[in-house]
Amino acid sequence: MSLPAPSPDALAASHALQHRIAADIARQGGAISFASFMEQALYAPDLGYYTGGAAKLGQDGDFTTAPELSPLFGGALAHVAAAIIAQSAPRILEFGAGTGKLARDILTELAKLGVTVDSYAIVELSGELRARQQEALRDFPQVTWLDGFPDSFDGVVVGNEVLDAMPVHLVSKTAAGWRELHVTIADGRFAWQPADLDPVLVEQLARQIPHADELPEGYVTELHGVACGFMRSLGALLAKGRGAAILLDYGFPAHEFYLEDRAAGTLMCHYRHHAHADPFYLPGLQDVTAHVDFTAMALAAQDAGADVLAYMSQAAFLLGAGIGDLLLRTDPADTKRYLPQSNAVHKLLSPAEMGELFKVLVVGKDIDLPAALAASDRAHRL
C-alpha cells in the first residue's frame, strides 16, 4: 500500500503496541480472537489508537466526522433533543464525543431555542480526545465526564460513530461450517488462524444471521457481540427511566448486510485520510472499524426493555430535524458564507456522500418523536 510514512515517534509507539499484542498472543497459547486484537489496537493504555496521543479527527487526523463538517449537524440534532427533553429531563449523555464540537453545537443551538440543559455528561475513553473536549467546552460549566454508564438516566443520549469502533469477532464460512478467524504470528507478522466457534459465538451467529447456512463457502463477516452488549446496557438504562438515544453510524439492516456480494465483510481501516482493509498495518496508528448491523442493535436494545422509536437514513433524519431551515438562516445571496455551509450540508445529505450510507437508530422509552421524523421512520425495514 502507498500510505504516508509515520513519524519516528509514531512508528516506535506502533512497534511497542505490536510487541505487547505479540506477548498476549504468546500468553494465550499462540492465538487471540480478532476482537481482542482490535480492542488492543484501539484501546490499549497509552498505545491504542484512541488512547494514544495522536490526533484522530479533522484535517490533521485520519478521518472527518459529520460534526467536523458543519455546525448545522449538531444544530439539527439539538432540535430533536429539545423535543425529547420536553418529555423527559434536561440532561444529555454523549458517548465518544470526538473533539467536543458536537456537544458545543448542540448546547449552542439549545441555548438559542431557550432550552436549558442542567447536565451534559460525556463518556470518553480517549485521554487525548477528552483533553480536546475539555478545552472546546470550557465555556459550558454543565459539561462533565464519566468513565462509564450512569446508574440511572432521564433525557437524551447521543452517539455519533460510536458503534462502528467497537471490537468485532470475524467469522468465515468453510466446507466444515463456520469458523472464527483468530490472530496469530507467522514469520514474525500477524496472520489469520481459523478456530472453532465457542458457544457464545454460535449463539451470536444464529441471532445475528438467521440464514447463515445459506451463505457461500469463503464468506467472511463480523459478529457484533460487544456492540450488542452496549445496546443492551443502553436499552436497560433507558427502560428504567424516560428518554431516548440517538445513534448515528454507517451500516445496514440485516437483510442488506449479509449479501453474497459482501463476502469479504465490512472491516475498514482509516489512516491519514486513506481507507484500506488491512487491520494489521501499524496497529495503534490507524482506526479500525466495521459497519453496523442496525437490526442486531435494535433487537439488543429491545431485548433490554427499550422501544425502537425510529430508524432512517441520515439524510431523512437531518431533513426531518430541520437542517434546511438552519441553512437558510444564512442569506444565499451572501455567497462567501452560504456556499461553504451549503456544500457541507450537501455532503451530509447526498446519497453519494453520507446521506444514505449513514443511518440513524432511535431507541427509548415513553417518548414521542416530532411528526417530521415519525413520517420518515423505516423501522419496518429492520
CATH code, domain carrying 100: 3.40.50.12710
300 falls within a domain: yes
In a domain, 194, yes or no: no
Name the H helices within 177-217: 199-208
Is 139 within a domain?
yes
> Among all chains, which residue has been given the C-alpha cell 416530532?
370
Give a yes or no: residue 23 inside a domain.
no
Strands 91-95 and 155-160: parallel
Say if 236 falls within a structural domain.
Answer: yes
Closest by Cα among 50, 55, 81, 52 to 68? 55
Indicate whether 110 belongs to any domain: yes
**Number of domains composing the chain:** 1
| Single-letter amino acid, residue 79 | H
Q: Is 2 a member of any domain? A: no
- Supply the pTM of this predicted model: 0.95
Q: Give the sign of the dihedral formed by CA 2, CA 266, CA 354, CA 40.
A: negative
- Its domain, for residue 66, covers 28-169+199-382
| Contact yes or no for 367/243 (Cβ under 8 A) | yes
Cell of 174: 468453510
Domain assignment of residue 15, yes or no: no
User: Across 256-342, where does the E strand assignment appear?
Assistant: 268-271, 274-276, 287-289, 292-293, 307-313
What one-letter code names the amino acid at 90? P
- C-alpha grid cell, residue 72: 448545522
**β-sheet bridge partners, residue 32:** 183
| Distance, CA of 15 to CA of 320 (rounded, Å) | 47
Q: pLDDT tens for the chain, 382 residues: list them.
A: 678 888 899 899 999 999 999 999 999 999 999 999 999 999 999 999 988 765 555 555 556 799 999 999 999 999 999 999 999 999 999 999 999 999 999 999 999 999 999 999 999 988 888 999 999 999 999 999 999 999 999 999 999 999 999 999 999 999 999 999 999 999 999 999 999 999 999 999 999 998 999 999 999 999 999 999 999 999 999 999 999 999 999 999 999 999 999 999 999 999 887 899 999 999 999 999 999 999 999 999 999 999 999 999 999 999 999 999 999 999 999 999 999 999 999 999 999 999 999 999 999 999 999 999 999 999 999 9
The residue behind cell 462502528 is: 164
